[in-house]
């Protein structure tokens, strides 16, 4: 359990540090790779892509529930038999918790919204096909998505083999 707590803490600290330094930026945009990757400060009071911005308190509740569910799954991490999935769920939990912190601070008036800073310019063109305008996300979002993808890969491709190999109880039944 200590390894989960350590990795969780590292991911949350990285997320909050990235948001702290982003909040110190002015309104300038820093181009990392021209026409591909930019960093600039943005506040999001809604969900993904700014949807439902007027319902910040609802997103805070949804974020809290998602974080609690992931904490339960994270608590049951099996580092001995499934490191890939354990890292994935720990990463996803840290991402959900990092955004929950922002939503909580937003509902109490201490922040303007979830701090976003990373923009893939090529994805803007893709979003434009569906009526979207801009994508911008933060480190917690990246942790959440990458962690959930790792968890899905672990479940789809490694779980059954691990159950057979180690004689573990199949939790899917």
Which residue out of 102, 141, 154, 170 is catalytically annotated? 141
Active site residue 116: yes
Q: Which of 71, 94, 85 is nearest to 142 (CA)?
A: 94
HEC states along the chain? CHHHHHHHHHHHHHHHHHHHHHHHCCCCCEEEECCCEEEEEEEECCCHHHCCHHHHHHHHHHHHHHHHHHHHHHHCCCCCCCHHHHHHHHHHHHHHHHHHHHHHHHHCCCCCCEEEEEEEHHHHHHHHCCCCCCCCECHHHHHHHHHHHHHHHHHHHHHHHHHHHHCCCCCCC
Place of tokens 């990373």: 118
Instruction: Tell me, yes or no, if 124 is annotated catalytic.
Output: no
Query: Catalytic residue positions?
Result: 116, 141
């Amino acid at each position: 359990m200590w390894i989960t707590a350590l990795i969780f803490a590292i991911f949350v600290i990285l997320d909050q540090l990235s948001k702290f330094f982003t909040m110190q930026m002015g309104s300038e945009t820093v181009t990392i790779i021209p026409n591909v990757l930019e960093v600039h400060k943005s506040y999001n009071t809604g969900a993904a892509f700014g949807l439902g911005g007027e319902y910040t308190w609802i997103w805070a509740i949804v974020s809290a529930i998602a974080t609690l569910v992931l904490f339960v799954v994270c608590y049951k991490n099996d580092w001995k038999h499934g490191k890939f999935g354990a890292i994935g769920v720990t990463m996803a939990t840290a991402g959900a918790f990092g955004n929950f912190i922002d939503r909580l601070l937003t509902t109490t008036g201490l922040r303007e919204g979830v701090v976003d800073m990373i923009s893939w310019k090529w994805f803007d063109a893709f979003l434009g096909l569906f009526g979207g305008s801009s994508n911008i996300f933060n480190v917690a979002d990246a942790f959440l998505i990458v962690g959930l993808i790792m968890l899905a890969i672990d479940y789809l491709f490694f779980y059954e083999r691990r159950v057979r190999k180690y004689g573990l109880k199949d939790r899917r039944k």
